[in-house]
């Protein structure tokens, strides 16, 4: 197959390119040439802005398009309109953040979707990320119909993850010592290795699959303590886990998800950690071992320079101070705060 990838040099995109090549397909990249331009020197690259330079495609034809970089409906519409007559199939990477009620457990592809407030036409991705992704999905399905594949990905993890939202835990456990973990044992999380997601997407494209799929993992939401156990096993460290209450962390203004990745307190976002993936599993979504994901992520994280600035996770000195407060906390009455 001849595949056009919109993006393709950052995280999921680079793994999609690698998966496509492993499957023997020809790949063309279209991007600005800004992120990791040294990657894939042997591939054809078309450099341009997808909002303005689509004429660079000329009359080229592709069997399939994979859109890894669509966030704004207006821009996605331009891509769809241009490629309708140039490609047979369009894959759009969306997000499970599209759902209107993130507290609903077992979110399915038929669950109600987010939408911008009435009268709001903002392109503010940070504020309206989920709603904008919904509108992008609509553009793709309108343009490509049954040849549109919508992938609602959960948290994507693994080597080259620019967010650090998963990488923090293998790295922190690898350091050892007393590790602050939020909440109590038993809370669950979901994520998917970018390489598993990429390989599955390529296999769906090969058979011309259309439709909409939640895509995260593993088959059942993972207890956080199991992830930490695997991190300890892989790193070989003797890290100690201290479970710290959500109330204590929130009172100390600790940011969920960012300062303590994977943590979403309370029930308001638990649906995002328990999405149904039955339809994706039925279409062959499969997962490598968690040990493999943790090991490869840790090896990659260790390869980064010492001065690397983390984008998520808690600085060690702040963690140590919080742990000190937690271990020595008392109320005026002398009772330990629970």
Instruction: Dump pLDDT digits (tens) for 75-118.
Output: 999 999 999 999 999 999 999 999 999 999 999 999 999 988 87
Q: Percent of the chain beyond pLDDT 90?
A: 91
Work out the pLDDT band at 70, boundaries 50, 70, 90.
very high
- Cα–Cα distance between 15 and 29 in angstroms, integer? 13
- Cα–Cα distance between 184 and 263 in angstroms, integer? 11
- Tens of pLDDT, residues 239-261: 999 999 999 999 999 999 999 99
β-bridge mates for residue 214, sequence order: 152
Work out the pLDDT band at 330, boundaries 50, 70, 90.
low
- Cα–Cα distance between 104 and 89 in angstroms, integer? 32
Answer whether residue 301 shows pLDDT above 50.
yes
Contact in structure between 274 and 103 (CB atoms under 8 Å): no
- Cα–Cα distance between 213 and 277 in angstroms, integer? 7
Instruction: Output the six-digit token pair for 320.
Output: 């140590």
- Tens of pLDDT, residues 128-156: 999 999 999 999 999 999 999 999 999 99
Q: What is the mean pLDDT of residues 125-129?
A: 93
Element (H, E) at 45: strand 44-47
Work out the pLDDT band at 120, boundaries 50, 70, 90.
confident
Contact in structure between 180 and 240 (CB atoms under 8 Å): no
Please report, for residues 75, 153, 181, 217, the alpha-carbon distance to residue 185 in angstroms, rounded to integers and kept in the order given.
Answer: 43, 26, 9, 19
- Cα–Cα distance between 287 and 199 in angstroms, integer? 10
pLDDT for the residue 334? 47
Contact in structure between 144 and 84 (CB atoms under 8 Å): yes
Please report, for residues 167, 308, 327, the alpha-carbon distance to residue 304 in angstroms, rounded to integers and kept in the order given.
Answer: 12, 7, 33
- Cα–Cα distance between 309 and 152 in angstroms, integer? 29
8-state DSSP, 62 = B
User: Of 10, 144, 124, 3, nearest to 77 (Cα)?
Assistant: 144
Q: What is the mean pLDDT of residues 212-232?
A: 97
β-bridge mates for residue 222, sequence order: 189
Answer whether residue 310 shows pLDDT above 60.
yes
Where would I find the H helices in the chain? 12-22, 73-83, 125-144, 168-175, 194-206, 224-235, 246-251, 278-282, 290-302, 316-328
What domains does the chain contain, in order, with CATH numbers?
2-159+190-215 (3.40.50.720), 168-189+220-273+289-328 (3.90.25)
Mean of per-residue pLDDT scores for the chain? 94
């Amino acid at each position: 197959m001849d595949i056009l990838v919109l993006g393709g040099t950052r995280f999921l995109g680079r793994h999609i390119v690698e998966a496509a090549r492993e499957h023997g397909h020809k790949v063309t990249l279209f991007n600005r040439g800004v992120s990791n331009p040294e990657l894939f020197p042997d591939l054809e690259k078309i450099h341009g802005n997808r909002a303005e330079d689509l004429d660079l495609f000329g009359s080229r034809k592709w069997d399939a398009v994979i859109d890894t970089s669509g966030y704004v409906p207006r821009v996605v519409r331009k891509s769809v309109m241009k490629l309708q007559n140039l490609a047979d199939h369009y894959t759009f990477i969306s997000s499970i953040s599209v759902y209107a009620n993130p507290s609903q457990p077992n979110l399915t592809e038929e669950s109600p979707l987010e939408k911008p407030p009435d009268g709001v036409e903002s392109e503010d991705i940070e504020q309206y990320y989920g709603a904008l992704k919904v509108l992008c999905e609509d553009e793709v399905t309108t343009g490509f119909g049954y040849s549109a594949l919508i992938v609602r990905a959960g948290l994507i993890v693994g080597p080259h993850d620019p967010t650090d939202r998963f990488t923090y835990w293998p790295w922190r456990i690898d350091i050892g010592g007393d590790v602050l973990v939020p909440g109590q044992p038993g809370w669950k999380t979901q994520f998917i290795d970018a390489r598993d997601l990429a390989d599955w997407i390529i296999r769906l494209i090969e058979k011309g699959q259309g439709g909409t799929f939640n895509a995260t993992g593993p088959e059942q939401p993972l207890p956080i303590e199991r992830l930490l156990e695997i991190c300890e096993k892989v790193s070989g460290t003797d890290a100690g886990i201290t479970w710290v209450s959500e109330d204590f962390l929130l009172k100390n203004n600790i940011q969920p998800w960012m300062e303590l990745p994977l943590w979403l307190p309370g029930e308001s976002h638990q649906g995002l950690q328990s999405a149904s993936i039955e339809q994706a599993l039925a279409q062959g979504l499969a997962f490598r071992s968690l040990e493999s994901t943790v090991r490869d992520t840790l090896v990659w994280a260790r390869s980064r320079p010492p001065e690397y600035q983390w984008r998520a996770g808690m600085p060690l000195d702040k963690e140590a101070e919080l742990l000190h407060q937690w271990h020595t906390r008392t109320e005026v009455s002398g009772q330990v705060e629970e």
